[in-house]
Chain A
Amino acid sequence: MTLQFVRQAVRAGRATLARQQLAMTGSRRTLVVVRNGQTVVRGLKKDEALYMKNPHGIEYPGNAETFAPLQELLGSEYALPEELMLQALTHKSFAHGKKPYNERLAILGKQLLRMETGRATAQSAAQGTQESINGHNFDVNERAIELLSSSPTLSQVCRLAKLEKSIFWRPADAGKGGETTIYSTSMSAVVGAVLLQHGAERAIEFIRSRLMAGPYSVFDISNQLFVDTA
């Protein structure tokens, strides 16, 4: 048996093994694959063109049209740099987290929204009554305050502001939903981005003027979305 023959046998053996692994794992990705029956490579790489677009078919990183609805919501007073807008509109599920995504912006933005909705209701409720503390009434139902910054409410804001098409994410399975979480995360992330870019004072102004008044008021949306069963 010549050395050349042994090598060929080994290669053939490897190839069969790899094919078997492919067959066994079915639709799962395998780490070993054989191309041309010759080269052994590790891992499969998906073509970028296949996944670098959002469910509405808009290619990352979008264009001026993609950012227009968000720019309209922000106005010139709370304008954000383009990369920050893009990050706020990109979910972790997009491109396997390879592009800057909005997870942490959303955490911070959500906390600010929680705090601010609590503050707004405390300041406005029953001022000057004997139980209030220095003009603040903290006895508003906590659940009701939570609903003001809940996922259904924020995703509705997102829909009304027509931001859905600008969001880069990847649905888990076709037609399986998940929009509510993605949209509300993006809305929280926009608040978080405004906070980091313009500071807390301006971010609070932004929440008060854009999300607590006008067409996207969380109070109106919560009243319409939720029914008080008490």
Chain B
Amino acid sequence: MFTGPRLAFLSRQSVSKLGMRRSLSATGPAASGAAAEYAQKHTKSKGDPISEDLAATSSALQTLAARLHLKDIPYSTLARTLITDTSGSRFANNSGLAGFGKSLLAFYTYEHFMINYPRLPQRVLRHAVDVYTAPRALAEVAKLWGVQSETRTPFARYLANVKDESVLGRLAYIDAVEAVEPGVTKITDSKTTMHADVAMATFIRALVAAVYAHRGLDGARDFIHQYLIKPRKLDLQSIISISRPTRELAVLCSREGLEAPVSRLMAESGRYSNTPVFVVGVFSGQSKLGEGQGSSLKEARTRAAVNALQAWYLYSPIDPTAPSAAPAAEYKPQPYVDGGEIVI
């Protein structure tokens, strides 16, 4: 029946762990047959659970919970979001949480931009989403939240007589960038180390997943909007770059069934001086699409076309409703679905 190739993939789980998970889950209720079976088959190995009493003693976790209004989320879950898979801690780590949190974050950020700017070119859209969800961006947020790091190796912690328990509440990872001696930095690239930004990012992603687990989808959505999307402003106009504006505008007009664009000189000053100024408008029939000024006719014409294209791409509907923002009964179909950016 299946003609496609059978593709192999690598997974880190061991056979013995698989067997263990099957016997454990035999007692739990099965939600959906196929999904449950698939999930059990691919469950990863994990560490010890963190006890709530132990996590509640961490002042760092209490501060974090108070700062982000996370009182409804158990301290043990918060503690887990701060343990990366490079930490060497005996406790369960955040890698699975982070993986799921990443998909939540990506969906809601893409949705935000697609609904608010339905005509953004695909590359600009991806870049915009990156500005909010890339490790560097998330690391900045985590630093603002006051997350502190614990980058000692398990061996160094052992020598210093620091137990895994006393590290709870700080972001535990082993830094890939290590200052060996003044002027010499050693960068390790392996599975046992992590860059600081990436470690911070896994914490925020894991936290999003934890919020989802306790507050549901809407709770996670609100959290993402409140703490990750709203506080940051992005100047989209500066991101859009257009390589052949006049040509692109001509293609746009022909695609949309408008009259071919014509550039007209609207005002000029000092044509024969060394600082001339030309103002050019680009028109389709009677309607002006854009206006630009420059020190040569060509520059002004190009700027006018860029201006017109930016106005097209940055169109934003008045008061849009995101698909995830309204319950099914109240949702109205999106009034405008764009056909895609202009191909030249």
Seen from chain A, the residues whose Cβ lies within 8 Å of a Cβ on chain B are 84, 87, 92, 96-105, 107-108, 111-112, 114-115, 118-131, 133-145, 147-148, 152, 155-156, 180, 193, 195-203, 212-213, 217, 219-230
Contacts and interface: CB of A to CB of B under 8 A. Distances in A.
A193 B10 CA distance: 33
Contacts of A129: 24-25, 28
27 contacts: A92-B340, A100-B338, A103-B340, A119-B217, A124-B39, A125-B36, A125-B40, A129-B24, A133-B77, A133-B97, A140-B42, A141-B11, A141-B12, A142-B95, A143-B11, A193-B337, A196-B334, A198-B323, A199-B324, A199-B331, A200-B322, A201-B328, A201-B331, A221-B2, A223-B38, A227-B8, A229-B10
A219 B37 contact: yes
Q: Which of B5, B13, B103, B210 has the most CB of A within 10 A?
A: B103
Contact of B343 (A92, A136, A201): A92
Given A121-B35, A141-B11, A156-B4, A108 B339 contact: no
B106 interface: yes
Contact of B97 (A135, A138, A145): A138
B55 interface: no
Chain A at the B interface: SS class? helix
Contacts of B107: 108, 111-112, 114-115
Nearest to B46: A139
Contacts of B40: 125-126
Contacts of A100: 337-340
B9 interface: yes
Contact of B39 (A102, A111, A125, A229): A125
A202 B328 contact: yes
B32 A145 contact: no
A136 B213 contact: yes
Contacts of A122: 39, 100, 213
A144 B38 contact: yes
A204 B241 CA distance: 36
Nearest to A147: B9
Contact of A152 (B4, B31, B104): B4
Contact of A226 (B9, B30, B110, B340): B9
Nearest to A212: B35
Contact of B331 (A92, A134, A198): A198
Contacts of A142: 95-96, 99
A134 B239 CA distance: 41
Interface string B174-215: 000000000000000000000000000000000001101110
Given A138-B97, A227-B7, A105 B337 contact: yes
Interface string B62-77: 0000000000000001
A134 B76 CA distance: 12
A116 to B, nearest CB: 9
B114 A108 contact: yes
Interface in B12-30: 12-15, 21, 24-25, 27-30
A125 B96 contact: no
B36 A131 contact: no
Nearest to A217: B34
Given A111-B110, A125-B43, A141-B43, A198 B333 contact: yes
Contacts of A203: 323
B317 interface: no
A104 B213 CA distance: 29
A222 B38 CA distance: 9
Interface string B312-329: 000000000011101110
* Closest CB pairs A-B (n = 4): A100-B339, A97-B343, A199-B331, A125-B39
B342 interface: yes
Nearest to A136: B213
Given A156-B4, A225-B2, A227-B8, 15 more contacts: A87-B339, A98-B343, A99-B339, A119-B100, A125-B25, A128-B29, A131-B46, A152-B4, A199-B324, A219-B37, A222-B38, A225-B4, A225-B5, A228-B41, A230-B15
A217 B36 CA distance: 13
Contact of A127 (B31, B38, B96, B255): B31
Contacts of B279: none
B192 to A, nearest CB: 18
Given A138-B97, A230-B15, A121 B38 contact: yes
A121 B39 contact: yes
B103 A140 contact: no
B146 interface: no
Contacts of A138: 96-97, 99-100, 209, 213
A114 B110 CA distance: 13
A122 B214 CA distance: 13
B44 interface: yes
A215 to B, nearest CB: 11
